[in-house]
Amino acid sequence: MTRVVILLGAPGAGKGTQAANLSTSLGLAHIATGDLFRENLKNNTVLGEKARGFMNSGRLVPDALVLEMLFDRVAQPDCKSGYLLDGFPRTLPQAVALEAALGANTDVQVLNLEVSEESILSRATGRLLCRGCTAIYHRSFRPPVTSGVCDECGGELFQREDDQEVVVRERLNVYHTETAPLVEFYSKRNLLVGVNGEQTPDRVTEVLMSALAAVNSSDNGGDK
């Protein structure tokens, strides 16, 4: 049985922060399509060049490019027993393509991080990322010990180009039209659990972990 956990939520809701905690606890590979694209931008790959304009203006990268990159990634050996998706799927066609690709022998669980628009804006606009690793900080909510320096690896912290307020607002619009319909898509399939994301990161992790355990045990009496 392959296990696939999907984290849904608006930009800045806390998906990356939670995915880092959950992937360690669950022993699942953390697959973040935004990180994969940023890696391609940094290395000036052909894919990165194609994605750059969409990302910097707050729009979604076209589905065909996302799907090729994603399916390539989850075919790697570290995803064999399962993986945690952060930032994918983000459109109905992506969700349909994923569903078609996953065999019947897959256990899918979807967690939706519910966070107010006000928190989204303050979280995204204050976010800082590390250039050296994938650690996530916040100017006020999760400041590093030394300003501008990653606690984990000593790398330099930077603000994402698309975390300026005007771009965050555009990303929120895109979220409402393209991504929010996935909540209904997965609810209809009885795969979705909504979680209050307006709590401390550690508390949110606890609630997500118990939601995953509850769904798993109510599925089929644990016969997997």
Annotated catalytic residues are: 15, 90, 127, 160, 171
> Which entry of Zn ion, ligand ADP, none binds 22, CB below 5 to 8 A by partner kind?
none
Among 55, 84, 111, 130, interactor with ligand ADP by CB under 6 A: 55
For Zn ion, the binding residue among 150, 182, 208, 215 (CB under 5 A) is 150
Nearest to 123 by CA among 21, 205, 200, 19: 200
Is residue 144 within the footprint of Zn ion (CB under 5 A)?
no
The smaller minimum CB distance to Zn ion, of residues 129 and 174, is found at 129
Instruction: Determine, following the binding rule CB under 5 A, whether residue 20 of this chain makes contact with Zn ion.
Output: no
> Which residues, 6 or more positions from 159, have their beta carbon under 8 angstroms from its beta carbon?
127, 128, 129
CA torsion sign, 116 to 120 to 143 to 211?
positive
Half-sphere exposure for 18 (CA within 13 Å, toward CB) = 31
Nearest approach in angstroms of CB 224 to ligand ADP is: 28
d(CA 92, CA 194): 19
Scan residues 91-130 and list those touching ligand ADP (CB under 6 A). 94, 123-124, 126-127
Q: Applying CB under 6 A, what is the total number of residues that bind ligand ADP?
A: 35
Instruction: Return the structure tokens found at 137.
Output: 């900080």
Dist. CA 95–CA 82, nearest whole Å: 17
Positions touching ligand ADP (CB under 6 A) are: 9, 11-17, 33-34, 37, 54-55, 58, 60-61, 66, 87-88, 90, 94, 123-124, 126-127, 136-138, 141-142, 162, 171, 200-201, 204
